[in-house]
Amino acid sequence: MATSTEPQAHTLRRLHDGSGVLAAAALRKLDEDLPWYRALPAEDRSWTGLVVQAAISSFITWYADPTTAPHGVGEIFTAAPPELTRSISLQHTLQLVRRIVEVVEDHSDRLAAPGSERDLREAVLRYSREVAFSAAEVYARAAEVRGAWDARLEALVVDALLRGERDDALHSRVAALGWSGHGTVLVMVGYAPHRIDEVRTAELRRATRRATDDALVGIQGDRIVVVLGGEGDLRAAATTLADRFGPGPVVLGPAVPNIGEAGRSAAAALAGLSAAAAWPGAPRPVSADDLLPERVLIGDASARSRLVEQAYVPLSAAGGSLLETLTAHIEHGRSLEAAARVLYVHPNTVRYRLRKVAEVTGWDPLDAREAHVLQVALALGRLGDAGVTL
């Protein structure tokens, strides 16, 4: 861009004198062209007006020496609070810059010295590019700050869930993280990869948010805690995330109705993670309920209660034949024929009764693993009947 000193000085004086007119014209154009600007609250419209005035003033200051790179362009956006970036997106800001450029171009014939109209328009276009880059930097910094704050808040929320907190502050913090609260909630835990850095953590967060409606991620030393929520199949979603964990078991807590109950799911999942080593052949991920016998061995009182309530109590209430048949089947090597001889019935009768046991309890005694679960449940129930405190 080539400008002689005298016409440039003349144009500069005109720009100074007309800065108020330019700002007013720019704000009118924003109001006419941009629906999102008209929808802004009065306070945000006021802050946006300051940004427009600062942009025009900064351009005039730079135009005094346009041969140098623009300095202090970022000062345009310091006229408004950082919170404005939440109300106005980067795309909206670029639209705002374009409207300012259009206004200055429309007024270039009146503001520029005779013969300098083209030079002024070229200067405006050059400066607008700098403003656009500056806006992108401002929004990138704001996003980085928000990301760091959200990560800290997310860590606090996950920690509170693990402690079983259920107060109003927890719900407000979860809402601040964008948790919608639709559907059920499930907690999955496992060990972190050997090197879990910020990049891998960010990838895990993105993967969880793609898998379910709601998700929270907590990194606690060598342990990863993921809270999943939504109306879909949370167990299927959790299965797709298992490869994101490091070597070792990945345990799924039971589904609970809402985020306030997530502590119950987390407690079961953490107990399952501690006990999983006792079942080397466990699937990955494995349900915490499938680890009930192992959780009993490490002293998990909730696992004892769940086994007794879901297996022993309904079998006792169903009548003596089911409990008697299950006991005979377990004590005689899980052989239908051996149990039938002891009970003086046909093997098909034993098979029929064992199927009824599966219907009543949810565990199939003809499956080796589930028969083990039932065996532990029977032992716990009988100890309770005998008055033994566990």
Residue 4, pLDDT > 60, answer no
CA neighbor of 103 nearest in space, from 31, 172, 180, 185: 31
Residue 87: its pLDDT value, please? 64
User: How many CB atoms neighbour CB 319 within 10 A?
Assistant: 10
Question: CA torsion sign, 137 to 139 to 142 to 143?
Answer: negative
Residue 82, pLDDT > 50, answer yes
Domain boundaries, the chain: 5-145, 181-289, 301-385
Inter-residue contact 207 to 241 (CB < 8 Å): yes
Which of 22-36, 38-52, 79-93 has the highest mean predicted lDDT (pLDDT)? 22-36
**Structure confidence by residue, pLDDT tens digits, 167-211:** 677 777 777 777 888 889 999 999 988 777 677 777 888 888 888
Residue 25: its pLDDT value, please? 86
% of the chain with per-residue pLDDT over 90: 38
Inter-residue contact 262 to 161 (CB < 8 Å): yes
Q: In this structure, what token pair is assigned to residue 303?
A: 């696992």
**Structure confidence by residue, pLDDT tens digits, 17-31:** 878 888 888 888 888
Residue 358, pLDDT > 90, answer yes
Q: For residue 261, how many C-alpha atoms fall within 13 Å in the half-sphere facing its CB?
A: 13
Q: Cβ contacts of residue 53 below 8 Å, gap of 6+?
A: 19, 23, 79
Does a cis peptide bond (omega within 30 degrees of 0) precede residue 347? Answer: no
Residue 164, pLDDT > 80, answer no
Q: Spelled out in words, what is the top-level CATH class assigned to the domain 301-385?
A: mainly alpha
Fold for 181-289, please state it. Answer: Alpha-Beta Plaits (3.30.70)
**Packing angle, helices 5-33 and 117-162, rounded to 10:** 50
**Packing angle, helices 42-63 and 90-111, rounded to 10:** 50
Average pLDDT over residues 229-240: 91
CA neighbor of 379 nearest in space, from 318, 320, 330: 330
